[in-house]
Amino acid sequence: MDYRTVLDTNNWVSYFIIEKYDEIVAMTEKGVVFLHSKPSVAELREVLTRQKFQKYNFNVEKLLYFYTQISEFVKTTPQFTDCPDPKDNFLFDLAIQGKADFLVSGDKKVLETPLKSESIKVRSLTAFKAEL
């Protein structure tokens, strides 16, 4: 069974900091299909280049390549407007338009955003991994 999944930027960055690429690959082997879009790539690029992450010496292009290769591209258009933090609306667009089963985030505002689609489960990373 495939689990179409949007993993929030905060989770990708955490995995990159602790260099747990094998855990991401293992999830895909369990049937997780990660999704990405132009806005999600742009957000990840912007976050990885922030001053506070300079100490990790990220090879941003390499990480973005990994991200786009391990996930499926979904063309999205801005539609969702209900997230309390408007800059996170793109995650919901990706989840809805990508027909995701899961939207995984560590952001409280994302986790508490009401979603009309009952087919998309919004979970923390811990809860998501427990469901796999």
The superfamily CATH assigns to domain 3-131 is: 5'-nuclease (3.40.50.1010)
Provide the pLDDT for residue 1: 78
Residue with structure tokens 């990373």? Answer: 125
CB 102 within 8 A of CB 6: yes
Residue 96 CB partners (closer than 8 Å, separation 6+): 79, 80, 117, 120
Share of the chain above pLDDT 70, in %: 100
Q: What span, in angstroms and rounded, lies between the C-alpha atoms of 67 and 15?
A: 11
End-to-end CA distance of the chain: 10
pLDDT confidence of residue 116 = 79
Q: How confident is the model at residue 117 (pLDDT cuts 50, 70, 90)?
A: confident
User: Which amino acid is it at 39?
Assistant: P
Q: Which pTM does this prediction carry?
A: 0.95
